[in-house]
Structure 1
């Protein structure tokens, strides 16, 4: 059975038992505390917690998973075991409060034995030490012999984290034979012999992070069956690396390395890393992750660089990752069709990343050479020559500071493993403790900037949702009356609401207020009752589908159960609508001008502006920005109709609606068709026709990180106001320049030319005046040395004057200083070329005193220095006088 056949068999089996077949969710989880989707149940966490109602009680998925960062990190084991991968496919069947152990256990056994045809006498089962119920079902209902059921503790307890759903689990293992390790079953036998192929998690409890566990109202089933591990058993190979999914990749690795897989253990590890990391890289990029120095992007960058490093260690000079990811697309593209659509883009991204890192490797080598030069002295190179006095410091003399290795790793992306290899070759070592300490400080900074782990929804919110159902959002009217108040809670003071002791959160059965999501900020307005009102300052989601109105109490306020009127600030909403639809047109225009690889990475839709973050690998120049703006406004001016409607996810995909990886979509989605060209999933509020947007004006474009850009723009009245302000500025400039507005450029150029000519005349005049002072200054010489402060004389005039004074008879040296009007300090020293004084020596200390220096080569007779501190001129001239006269 090959990979595609196993996927089909698994999905069909559970579909026949009432499970809805769901496509894999993105590798970018909606749960923000996780870097990646690490298990099949991650997309369903809210269903297990009870914070959201599942659309159906039974589901089956084949979920893409990545474990390469955070708590779930198998990166260091890749290639060295037969069981670990950074990317893998997790087959799973799920029950949300429907069936439980009595059904799940026999079905699992039926699939493994009847569908897959695995021999019963080679199967073992494990259960948690406390789970008598599961053990009883295995033995009496399924018929597994008691001696093949083993009890384990931690290995048979599953938890999403310190906080979240958890419960005992029961696993099925396959014995691949005595050639692969000792007997004894999963509990006592060899890890490579007894292969876990199935994990039944009985989701019974919810952990709160303190060690306390609360039984879930609706216990569920979460099955995890590793596709790669099962394929290894079905295809009769000793390791998952030998299955059909990896064979083409390892064949390409052989061509890259010019070596044969299976002949050298260390080379085999590198080849497996090529295969594994290529799969992960292709899948992550296809799902919208870009190499960067933060979060997911950093993990992806590390994975790519790790593969490249192994190629580098093997002496492979050519770029390898594009070749490998191309094979991934060939192998996986039939099931994950996005890979095919993104083939060239994935190859381009990894090619650029690898080329940059290969340059980084060369740069890191150079920095390491310089850092170790001081360690490679006589004592380090020849320990026998070390004196007894140096014995106590010898170890330190041969150890590279961990901070240097951290700098190479963190700033230059130079792997610490490479650093250690090079040090070993030179008879040196690394202060690994120092390196780890620096890494830990970095981790602490990262943790401090991150949100905490998953938390339970406030019980009050869950009670409201359970009792009254979702908030009815009335999107097409600015006011709703009557609306019933479901609950009113006071908001405790905190950093966000410090000083606002009269703030409350209000829940209504229906509302016209949009809750902040999808980049669009929440509405503001008023909720009015009989005896008081709430000034609504924001609207957010307390839970999915439950609107929370945050506001300030006026009068007696309002009470739960009362009927009220809810009204938004419609003028503000109209401005938001213009900016939100404008964001979609801007996105379309970006893709038209820059390419289809552009994907939204974040946005802010406010009444006064819009902000749009997108993926792009280089800066956007002025000409491109103007073209983007032109294309967007050409579309807006068509006044095309905007259709905003609900439909099924399948229909949305069929009509080509753009969905963004990492965003969460249900079975029913809202689609915005903005004119003829832009079709995207969006739940925000929008205009009825493109012309309502008005003129879209790009205000700024900037970088916000590696491969990430940001555009800010305005629409509607904000554009008009911006143009009016620009015209007022032009009119003011024209009046100051005594010119017409369309003549400003030429008028400014004339003024610049005049200013340039006047400055030239001033310099010439200063030189003439300075020359006339040369004789006067020469007359003040003391033992042939002239030292003077010339006020604000320009640098060039100061230099000419010093040379002129020196040329008078009997002058040995001249040191002059000034503080030019343009700022800073100018120092000049001129000496008799045939004399015994050095111009550089006269200025060396003086220049430092005024906060500057000079770069003269050799020993010229005239030296000019600069500085930043005019207050130090007096002290600097005194130092020069001492240097010239000796006292």
Structure 2
């Protein structure tokens, strides 16, 4: 059964059982507690927590997933992947264990045709109910095993929904391992499907299985995850996930590039390398397609690590030419029909992997030089700190360090390296845990507010003023019964015209008035889905929950922000028109009168002036701005752009600006295109590998900038005494003349110094090492002393010494120079002399200098230096 049939069989099965299909969310999750989307349930988290009402009580999906915890297992086992497709069915307070277990058994045995005698089941230790349900569908007790929290209690890895689970395993036979069931051998008895009985909420912990269970979810839910790769390996009767139709074309290409066949599952290092390169190529392509770019930390570091690991293993296989571009191209060719974002981002993927592979080659060369230097200094062991610095600072892989050390007959202090790595991980985990803990506490508070009062009724798309009511006062630790003048806190309103920061657009500001108080709104932020939180300062009076209120947005600021947001959409469209579809948005900041726009591209944009012209010409044509709503599927069918990292529901809001721009967007916009202009780009720069940033001004702010630049040009023209349009040419003439004059002055000054050097050299006295010039030079600037001293000793037979000094600005300066045949270190001449002027000597080899704040002792210092020269 091919992977396409496995997917369709799953979806058809649950469609018949009244499940609605939900599109896969991107690998960059909207949840700030997650680095990458690691399970099908991630996008449903608000439904499980009761924060948002699901549009349908039953759902199913084919979700793209990435799990960083499995990187080291890839290639070492037959089943682990860093990227995989997870088939899932979900119930939000609808059906529970009985239906989930019966359907899983039916799908496996009747529709996928798996042998019932080879299916094993694990359940959580105290879940007698699940065990009984499995026996009812036909699984004998001897093939049901109870395991602990480490194996059969599932969570996202962060605080949030969790619950006991039951896993379906398949016995792949004695060729894959020992008898005894999943509790004994996970390779032979491979987990295929995990049924999670999502009923609890977990808190912060230190690792898997080590966290507190805080309580019950609002309802009992089902969350399942069936790994497509693993099921395909069983149904297609191949040993590893890399040999399924999902990855086989890429594995064949690796063999072609290596010039030798894949040895199969023989336990060799070559077998490991073939599988690592194959599997990582798929992860790399999908991560870049979903907006991840290489970086030194976060999800960008995960991508960089995957690319470097793939290149390293390709080199082990003898593939010396660039490998990532053809391999990711193979992934796109094989899976682009199922996942069209791969084809849409094919140019970006190729550019990213090519640039990163070239950069890694430079890293390897630099790291190799540093490692060779460290090895040459080592006795028998290379320190763990050296290995860690190569890894952490230069990105040099530890396994290459180990290989090089072994070749040189050295060992590496791996324990010290591991300890430093663990210290770094603990520090990062502590910092992340503190941040997550604060965020979780805040979300719990918002959740209680929603449970008691409901979500905010946002009316800001059509109004900047609303009559409303104070729902809650939040002071950082909980709800407050009252707030008075001078207090700063958060306010929740029943109805609000204030836009909460999102989609790159800043939150609204303004004022809230109650019968007894005036509240200044400094910002508006989203709490949890549908809750607007207003950061306020009480300007006057006293306010309590339940007070009636008038909420008024700063309308001018809102209008200026809307201009910037509409301009951002048009800028995005014109960048894609000029540079190509790969120039997709990677982030934005929309503020009153200005915008910041990040996009994917690999070099400076010389056409930036063309882009600005296109934006302004398009806006000047006054295109209509139309806002409409549709289902996510209809929006995709209408080619609406969904931006990376943004969270969208089943029903979405689409903004059309003429026929050039159509994007999913929850922000505020102008009514007509001409209201957004003009747009003036003030900067374009690189902010990372393959990532550029444009900063621009909009509307009156752009006009004010034009006026400022015009005033500067007028002032410059007046200084040059020419019309403004002639100012650049006249300034260029003046600068050329100035440069020529400077060159002439430099030549004259050099001639003067040569003449002075000749005069001073004529006063030389003989010393044992050759001859000496020791003089105070009052007519030479301090900056010229070094030039003068070098000129003196370079003349003649090369056996000269020079000690020169000058006083200027309350300081003494000394310079010493030694000819190439003197065998004298210039610094030695000044060591004692420097103390006379209250300073120290510095420099290497033939030239040295000294300085101090006792210029009155300059003559004595020169004499001391001369006396020392006479002894050498």
TM-score, scaled to structure 1? 0.87
Answer yes or no: is the 8 Å Cα contact 1:846–1:877 preserved in 2. no
Quick one: which of 610, 613, 623 aligns to 2:598? 613
How many aligned residue pairs are there?
842
Instruction: Give a deviation string over 1:48-101, Cα, whole Å, max 9, x none.
Output: 122222221110111111112xxxx11111111112111111111001111111
Does the residue aligned with 1:462 lie in a helix, a strand or coil?
helix
- Contact 2:122-2:182 within 8 A present in 1 as well: yes
Matched, 1:145 2:140: yes
2:207 match: none
What is the Cα deviation at residue 160 of structure 1? 2.0
Q: Which residue of 2 aligns with 1:881?
A: 866
Q: Does the 8 A contact of 2:760 with 2:792 survive in 1?
A: no
Separation in 2, partners of 1:500, 1:611 = 36
* Aligned-partner Cα distance in 1 for 2:795–2:278: 77
Contact 1:74 1:86 in 2 (8 A): yes
Q: 2:587 aligns with which of 597, 602, 613?
A: 602
1:404-460 CA distances to partner (integer Å, 9 max, x unpaired)?
222322333221101101111221111223323443454356446644267266455
1:134 aligns to 2:117 (yes or no)? no
Q: Name the stretch that deviates more: 690-699 or 276-285.
A: 690-699
The structural deviation recorded for 1:260 is 2.1
2-structure distance, mates of 1:782, 1:500: 87
The alpha-carbon deviation at position 577 of structure 1 amounts to 1.1
| 3-state SS of 1:535 partner | strand
d(CA) in 2 for partners of 1:762, 1:599: 51
Native 8 Å contact 2:572 2:585 kept in 1: yes
Q: Given the alignment, which residue of 188, 205, 217 partners 1:193?
A: 188
Displacement of 1:306 in angstroms is 0.8
Report SS of the residue matched to 1:370. Answer: helix
2:275 paired with 1:287: no
Choose the corresponding residue for 1:436, options 418, 440, 444: 418
Partner Cα distance (1:439, 1:796) in 2: 51
Paired residue secondary structure (1:33): coil
Contact 1:256 1:316 in 2 (8 A): yes
C-alpha spacing 1:277/1:837, structure 2 compared with 1 (3 Å): closer
Could you list the per-position Cα deviations for residues 214-269 of structure 1 after superposition, in whole angstroms to 9, with x for gaps in the alignment? 01120101111111222222223344343222332222222122222236522111
For residue 670 of structure 2, what is the aligned residue in structure 1?
A: 687
Aligned pair partner of 1:96 in 78, 92, 117: 92
For the pair 1:418 / 2:400, whether they are aligned, the reply is yes
Query: How far apart are residue 148 of structure 1 and its match?
Result: 2.6
CA separation of 1:819/1:634 partners in 2, compared to 1, >3 Å: closer, same or farther? Answer: farther
1:303 CA drift (Å): 0.8
Which residue of 2 is the match for residue 383 of structure 1?
none
Contact 1:601 1:615 in 2 (8 A): yes
The residue number in structure 2 matching 1:273 is 276
Closer, same or farther: CA 780–474 of 1 in aligned 2, 3 Å: same
Distance 2:672 2:279 in 1: 49
Distance in 2, Cα, partners of 1:761 & 1:61? 77
Deviation at 1:604, TM superposition (A): 1.2
Question: Are positions 1:203 and 2:217 aligned together?
Answer: no
CA distance in 1, matches of 2:76, 2:794: 78
| Secondary structure of 1:643's aligned partner | strand
Structure-2 residue corresponding to 1:664: 647
**Matching residue within 720, 723, 736 for 2:703:** 720
Change (3 A) 1:768 1:156: closer
Q: Does 1:36 align with 2:36?
A: yes
1:84 pairs with 2:84: no
Q: Which residue of 1 aligns with 2:319?
A: 316
For residues 382-421 of structure 1, the aligned pairs below 5 Å read: 397-421=379-403
1:770–1:797 Cα contact (<8 Å) kept: no
Question: Is the contact made by 1:49 and 1:456 (CA closer than 8 Å) also made in structure 2?
Answer: no
Aligned-pair CA distance for 1:740: 4.7
Q: Is residue 760 of structure 2 the alignment partner of residue 757 of structure 1?
A: no
Contact 1:841 1:883 in 2 (8 A): no
Q: Which moved more, 1:3-12 or 1:356-365?
A: 356-365
Q: Are positions 1:329 and 2:332 aligned together?
A: yes
Structure 2 CA distance for aligned equivalents of residues 65 and 162 of structure 1 = 16
Q: 1:816 aligns with which of 790, 804, 809?
A: 804
Does residue 372 of the first structure (1) align with residue 375 of the second (2)?
Answer: yes
Q: Which residue of 2 aligns with 1:19?
A: 19
Give CA deviations for 1:252-288 in whole Å, capped at 9, x if unaligned.
Answer: 2221222222365221111111211111111111111
**CA displacement 1:466-524 (0-9 Å, x = unmatched):** 4543322223445334223222333469xxxxx99602322222221110111111111
Structure 2 portions without partners, runs of 5+: 205-210, 479-483
Q: Does the CA-based 8 Å contact 2:120-2:143 persist in structure 1? A: yes
User: Are 1:183 and 2:179 an aligned pair?
Assistant: yes
Structure 1: gaps spanning 5 or more residues: 376-396, 494-498, 857-863
Partner of 2:259 in structure 1? 258
Kindly tell me: are residues 470 and 828 of structure 1, through their superposed partners in 2, closer, same or farther at Cα, counting changes over 3 Å? Answer: same
- Residues of 2 paired with 1:619 and 1:802: CA distance? 44
CA distance in 1: counterparts of 2:236 and 2:708, whole angstroms: 72
Q: Distance in 2 between matches of 1:287 and 1:837?
A: 65
- The worse-fitting range, judged by mean Cα deviation, of 745-754 and 198-207 is 745-754
Shift of 1:747: 4.8
Q: Which residue of 1 aligns with 2:113?
A: 117
- Given the alignment, which residue of 337, 341, 352 partners 1:338? 341
In structure 2, the residue corresponding to 1:557 is in which secondary structure?
Answer: strand
1:427 aligns with 2:405: no
Contact 1:739/1:747 (<8 A) preserved: no
Greater Cα offset, 581-590 or 469-478? 469-478
Residue 790 of structure 1 corresponds to which residue in structure 2? 777
* 1:348 aligned to which of 333, 343, 351: 351
Distance 1:296 1:445 in 2: 18
Which among 436, 444, 448 is matched to residue 452 of structure 1? Answer: 436
- After superposition, the Cα gap between the structure-2 partners of 1:854 and 1:793, relative to the gap in structure 1 and judged at 3 Å, is farther
User: Given the alignment, which residue of 79, 104, 108 partners 1:108?
Assistant: 104
In 2, are the aligned partners of 1:483 and 1:566 still within 8 Å (CA)?
yes
SS in structure 1 at match of 2:178: coil
Give the distance between the partners of 1:371 and 1:788, measured in 2 at CA. 46
Give distance in 2, aligned partners of 1:50 and 1:469. 11
Residue 75 of structure 1 corresponds to 71
Residue 7 of structure 2 corresponds to which residue in structure 1? 7
In 2, distance between residues paired with 1:232 and 1:751?
Answer: 72
Any idea what the Cα deviations from partners look like across 1:592-641, whole Å, max 9, x if unmatched?
Answer: 23322112222111114211122222333xx3322222222222222222
Seen in structure 2, the aligned counterparts of structure 1 residues 242 and 489 have a Cα distance that, compared at 3 Å, is closer
TM-score when normalising by structure 2: 0.88
Aligned residue in 2 for 1:382: none
Q: Distance in 1 between matches of 2:18 and 2:804?
A: 95
Q: Is the 8 A contact 1:125 1:171 kept in 2?
A: yes
8 Å contact from structure 1 (residues 793, 820) kept in 2: no
The alpha-carbon distance between structure 1 residues 616 and 212, as it changes in their structure 2 partners (threshold 3 A), is same
**1:18 Cα deviation after fit:** 0.9
| 3-state secondary structure, aligned to 1:161 | coil
2-structure distance, mates of 1:664, 1:461? 19
Aligned-partner SS, 1:76: coil
Q: What does residue 503 of structure 1 align with?
A: 488
Separation in structure 2 between the aligned mates of residue 307 and residue 747 of structure 1, nearest angstrom: 54
Partner residue in 2 for 1:228: 229
Q: Write the distance in 2 (CA, Å) between the matches of 1:670 and 1:339.
A: 25
Deviation for aligned residue 1:137: 1.8
Q: What whole-Å deviation, never above 9, does each CA across 1:362-385 have from its counterpart, x for those lacking one?
A: 33323222221123xxxxxxxxxx
User: Per-residue displacement from partner, 1:157-192 (whole Å, max 9, x unpaired)?
Assistant: 11223522121111222223344333333234x333
Compared with structure 1, are the counterparts of its residues 807 and 75 closer, same or farther at alpha carbon in structure 2 (3 Å cutoff)?
closer
Offset from partner CA, 1:275-302 (integer Å, 9 cap, x none)? 1111111111111112222211111111
Where does residue 571 of structure 2 map in the other structure? 586
